[in-house]
């Protein structure tokens, strides 16, 4: 059983990225649209600010009230996107339930969309024409590449079909030739799929959702589900699963730190404006 140390991997990327940003000879800035208050969101923002400081990228947070309307938020986003100094713009999710989330995300142009969440960016990614990958996909690809995991022909189960993890991960896996099954709330008996899976990726946000009795020995388990319980971050996968897995990513400390690293790597790629350079991990 190999437990992935996402923090260590992220540190490797951090060192490379810091040197690359220095060579750019210009200041990069990531703009973050934050609406309302959320404890988990605050923790993610802390990670992003800390990583940005470490590599020399400014993180500017635009803090907006929770009761802002969809139209007012879209107007504010347009202002932020058009500020030249903002090399990339992200919207911290989730947004309040009264907001039309996709309409807001579609206000970010692909050239400034390191999260790859606008409809145009999703289209580029899905068709293999994007020059960057959604951060969580890039993080998982990095883990697989480092551990020589080839998904082609493998039985892969993705649990959850959310905007940030499930959907982009499923799209990428399908494009890589995996024998893919996506499990959502409409799946009658998920265990029929998980027990035979070679690889499981879970992004539901429900602590202890995946128990050791529903996976086989030697399974690869990628946990991208995050929820808060008693002030602590928890993943979807019960710790007992790690004993059966050949490869396992814990929460916290697994995919999360790498995803943050890939967000900033994406920002740097976008800032190059199409120039050819080393390290592009492509679409």
Rg (CA), the chain: 18
Local mean pLDDT, 10-residue blocks, the chain (283 residues): 89 96 91 90 88 97 97 98 96 95 97 97 93 96 97 97 93 97 92 96 92 96 86 86 94 93 96 50 37
Report the CATH number that the domain containing residue 47 is assigned in CATH: 3.40.50.10860
- Domain span at residue 49 reads 24-109
Residues 84 and 172 in one domain: no
Return the pLDDT at 273. 65
- Residues for the chain: how many in total? 283
Q: Are 196 and 223 in contact (CB under 8 A)?
A: no
Q: Are 33 and 92 in contact (CB under 8 A)?
A: yes
Residues 163 and 253 in one domain: yes
Task: Confirm whether residue 160 is marked as ligand binding.
Answer: yes
Number of domains in the chain: 2
Return the pLDDT at 279. 38
Q: Are 194 and 223 in contact (CB under 8 A)?
A: no
Residues 150 and 230 in one domain: yes
Return the pLDDT at 51. 96
Q: Are 260 and 80 in contact (CB under 8 A)?
A: no
Task: Confirm whether residue 162 is marked as ligand binding.
Answer: yes
Residues 175 and 247 in one domain: yes
Task: Confirm whether residue 191 is marked as ligand binding.
Answer: no
Return the pLDDT at 2. 84
Task: Confirm whether residue 87 is marked as ligand binding.
Answer: no
Residues 103 and 176 in one domain: no
Residues 78 and 157 in one domain: no
Return the pLDDT at 228. 76
Return the pLDDT at 148. 96
Return the pLDDT at 21. 94
Residues 100 and 145 in one domain: no
Residue 127 lies in a domain: no
Residue whose token pair is 């050819």: 276
CB atoms within 10 A of CB 241: 24
């Amino acid at each position: 059983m190999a437990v992935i140390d996402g923090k260590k991997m992220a540190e490797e990327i951090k060192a490379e990225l810091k040197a690359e940003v220095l060579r750019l000879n210009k200041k990069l800035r990531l703009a973050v649209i934050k609406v309302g208050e959320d404890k988990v969101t605050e923790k993610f923002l802390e990670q992003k600010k800390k990583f940005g400081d470490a590599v020399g990228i400014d993180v500017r947070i635009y803090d907006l009230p929770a009761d802002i309307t969809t139209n007012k938020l879209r107007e504010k986003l347009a202002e932020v996107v058009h500020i030249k100094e903002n090399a990339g713009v992200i919207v911290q999710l989730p947004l309040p339930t009264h907001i039309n989330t996709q309409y807001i995300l579609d206000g970010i142009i692909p050239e400034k969309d390191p999260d790859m969440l606008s409809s145009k960016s999703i289209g580029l990614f899905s068709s293999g024409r994007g020059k960057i990958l959604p951060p969580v996909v890039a993080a998982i690809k990095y883990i697989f590449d480092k551990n020589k995991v080839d998904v082609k022909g493998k039985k892969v189960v993705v649990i959850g079909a959310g905007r940030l993890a499930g959907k982009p991960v499923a799209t990428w896996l399908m494009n890589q030739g995996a024998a893919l099954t996506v499990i959502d709330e409409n799946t009658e008996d998920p265990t029929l799929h998980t027990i035979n899976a070679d690889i499981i990726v879970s992004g539901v946000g429900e602590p202890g959702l995946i128990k050791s009795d529903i996976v086989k020995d030697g399974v690869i388990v990628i946990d991208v589900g995050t929820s808060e319980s008693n002030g602590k971050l928890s993943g979807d996968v019960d710790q007992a699963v790690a004993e059966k897995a050949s490869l396992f990513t814990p929460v916290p400390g697994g995919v999360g730190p790498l995803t943050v690293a890939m967000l900033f790597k994406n920002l740097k790629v976008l800032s190059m404006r199409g120039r050819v350079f080393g390290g592009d991990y492509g679409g």
